[in-house]
Amino acid sequence: MMRMSAADASVLDEIAAIAVMPGDLVERAKALLKPLQRITPCDAAFITAFDPERRVQTPLLRHGYTAAVMRALDGPQLTDDVEQAGLHGPSLPVRMGDLPVPVETLPTWSQHLYPAGIRQFLSTGLFARDGRYLGVVATNSADPRPATEAARLLLARAAPWIGHAVDPLRTVSAIARLVGDAVAGVALTRAADIVPLTGLPGHPLLAPGSPVVLAAAARTAGGHPLTTFLCPDDGEDPGGGLFRVSMLACPPQPPGHLRRVLLLSPAPYPHGLTRHELQILGLLIEGWPLARIAVELSTGVRVLTGDVELILAKLGAASRHMAAARALRRGVYIPAELTRSVRREQR
Amino acid sequence: MTAITPPAHQVLDEVTAIGGHRGGLPERAEELLDVLHRLVRFDAGRIALFDAPRHRQTDLAIRGYPDRARQYLAGPGAIHDAELLGLHRDPPPMRIRDLPRPAAEFPIWAEYLHPAGFREGVLVPLVTPDGRYLGLFAAMSHDARPVSDATCALLGRLSRPMAHALDPMRAIEALAALVTDAIAGVVLTGSGGTVALPGLPGHRLLRPGSPILAEARTCYDDGDTRATFLTPTGPAAPSGYLNVTVLACPDQPPHELTAVVLLRPAGDLRHLCHREMTVLGMLISGCAIGDVGARLRIPAHSVRVALEQARAKLGTSSSAAAVMRAADHGLYLPPSLIRSA
């Protein structure tokens, strides 16, 4: 690669310094405006974070646009036009003349940017180091002269840092560090899909649509910052080990699809409770009467009543309500969803 | 004491990176000592935290100190020395020759380190970016030559990033930040006190000795990872309510920060009335339904009516499910927070 000029190196240093700042990704995106203006002269600029579930480019930074243009940038058209422009895959930054399609065919350009007096742009897609598509950065100018080749190469070098600055998984991975003994984890999206975390492996129990993920998704309604429950680590062997599942809420941040962090930690059997007793607690937490629990667990009400008495003693609880409330707060129960999924498989 | 001075940004990068590692505080302190040892060729080095509740220093990492010196450092004398040096006032790094009083006046130096052949050293206070004094880094050498002014200046620049990497409050703040609508909060400590939560104000309901803190401590002592319940905001019965959320802190030895207690707006109370929330709280706390009336001095019939109304308002199919929903969503008043009328 060409040797960079001292001015270019200082722009890149500035961008890298912003990228490694702790805190909020919107703040970092906003701080990037100045170095962007140093890459190429421009009258307006934006950075977006792509929400893959709603397929919208959520704004992180917007500077210099009219209200009408901003409304246009909010819509789904931008997502289509960004794809048409080839900015959803790795490529060199593009100016108007570098587009793979005629610029007039992009409605965001022909209906909004051009009528607002914008005549040129320099834009590139943003990607994380592991290849995840993160969003777009663009600068616009009223001056029809295209950005120089040097500016284009400088933006290409800066793009990985800009991507790092706006990577939403950074916040999410920091939250995952709160559970120090976690051995596996994923991020859970708005649509109950999963996204791998940086720094922690995934796990078959945390596959999309798995009983653990469904049980976790069913527990997001209370708006709790932290929810924990137990999960057998094999599903079959009643003497097998347990995992503690911890679900932590992600702070609201663009693009907004990453909602929870799900983590697995090895856990001992708590308070001397057996797997069967932890399943009973899971059903008591649902508010089920004993007769229904007995049917679900294929046991008799009389036997179950004895089991419940033992559970109360082990938890030091004076009543079933109290035992279930304690189990809920301590996360010492196997959720009904996990008990039922095993039963269904056995049928 | 010799030193090599690498580019400052390189050392800063390394120290900052250690702050992002998954390990516990002692592991991070060991990693910091590795970095510092490349910077200052010490023969004995330690990173110690000031344990305010117990009034002593706790070593996170210590290398090369004679056993007798270590015993002294674990005792009250080390705290006294640190106070004489004014480390809590965030001074720049001090070499033995820069000390505000002659080194011979400090027992650690005169009785333990100098007799063991140490001739120079440097002390760096660790102060967080928001100004909290956490502890110190100390390095001692047999070589009598002091570290250079440039190295002292670099160590001074490392004070905050090092403290940031070792700050137990970071995890607590991250935990508290999970609750996005908190209006106030404190951290409970193992010894029974509270410490302020950076970034959130305290509250009159969260003063030491308050019923809410007692209830939160009971939850923590019971082993709850999280608990959520309502509290009246004033003494009168038709008062407002706030939600109390208690989250157990991650273990960070040697610190004993046990739980974060946060106050948030009560949110949607589902039109539950004071009596219904009180009855739900009694049942969740283990009171038999037959005893609730006696404890509240209301007829048993009224208790059943309150429970049925709560069930309808919470939209569940049974009263047992209603009690569990209230427990899960924190829609109840714990008996300890009800003022006896």
* Residue A268, CA atoms < 13 Å, CB-side half-sphere: 3
State whether B226 and A199 contact (CB < 8 Å). Answer: no
DSSP string, B101-146: S-GGGSHIIIIIITTTT--EEEEEEEE-TTS-EEEEEEEEESS-SP
State whether A180 and B318 contact (CB < 8 Å). Answer: no
Contacts of B58 (CB under 8 A, 6+ apart): B48, B49, B51, B254
Is it true that the peptide bond before B115 is cis, omega within 30 degrees of 0? no
What pLDDT was estimated at residue B32? 95
Residues of A with CB below 8 A from B22's CB? 177, 180, 199
Closest-CA distance of chain A to residue B321, Å: 4
Tokens encoding A157: 């070098």
Tokens encoding B255: 């610190």
State whether A180 and B24 contact (CB < 8 Å). Answer: yes
Interchain CB contact of B27 with A (< 8 Å): no
- With CA atoms as reference, report the closest residue to B129 among B104, B157, B94, B106: B157
DSSP string, B44-70: EEEEEEEETTTTEEEEEEEES--HHHH
B175 to chain A: closest CA residue = A178
Cα–Cα distances in angstroms (integers) from residue A149 to residues A8, A40, A207, in the given order: 13, 10, 45
Mutation target to probe the B interface, by most B beta carbons within 10 A, among A13, A24, A226 is A226
Q: To which residue do tokens 């920091």 refer?
A: A174
Tokens encoding B289: 């339904």
CA angle B235, B236, B242 (to 5 degrees): 65
Interchain CB contact of B290 with A (< 8 Å): no
- With CA atoms as reference, report the closest residue to B138 among B171, B108, B177, B183: B108
pLDDT tens digits for range A162-191: 998 999 988 888 788 888 789 999 999 988
Q: How many CB atoms lie within 10 A of CB B180?
A: 12
Burial B68-80 (b: 16+ CB within 10 A, else e): ebeebbeeebbbe
State whether A226 and B225 contact (CB < 8 Å). Answer: yes
Q: Are B29 and B130 in contact (CB under 8 A)?
A: no
Closest-CA distance of chain A to residue B131, Å: 18
Closest-CA distance of chain B to residue A164, Å: 15
Q: Are B62 and B70 in contact (CB under 8 A)?
A: yes
pLDDT tens digits for range A194-208: 989 887 899 999 999
- With CA atoms as reference, report the closest residue to A14 among A41, A27, A33: A33
A312 to chain B: closest CA residue = B286
Confidence category of residue A2, pLDDT binned at 50, 70, 90: low
Instruction: State the pTM of this model.
Output: 0.79
Contacts of B220 (CB under 8 A, 6+ apart): B188, B246, B248, B258, B259
State whether B250 and A180 contact (CB < 8 Å). Answer: yes
Confidence category of residue B338, pLDDT binned at 50, 70, 90: confident
Closest-CA distance of chain A to residue B156, Å: 20
**Any idea what DSSP says for residue A317?**
-
Q: Are B112 and B66 in contact (CB under 8 A)?
A: yes
Calculate mean pLDDT across residues A56-74.
93
Q: Are A88 and A95 in contact (CB under 8 A)?
A: no
The dihedrals phi and psi of A136, each to the nearest 5 degrees, come to -140, 145
pLDDT tens digits for range B197-234: 888 999 999 998 899 999 999 888 888 888 999 999 87
Q: How many CB atoms lie within 10 A of CB B306?
A: 23
Does the pLDDT at position A318 exceed 80? yes
Which residues from A are below 8 Å from B when comparing CB atoms? 20, 174-175, 177-180, 199, 222-228, 248-249, 251-252, 270, 284-289, 317-322, 324-326, 328-331
Residues forming beta bridges with residue A133, ordered by sequence position: A127
d(CA A62, CA A46): 4
Residues A300, A306, A307, A310, Cα dihedral to 10°: 180
What pLDDT was estimated at residue A79? 93
Confidence category of residue B6, pLDDT binned at 50, 70, 90: low
State whether B286 and A175 contact (CB < 8 Å). Answer: no
Of A249, A289, A329, the CB nearest to B224: A329
Interchain CB contact of B101 with A (< 8 Å): no
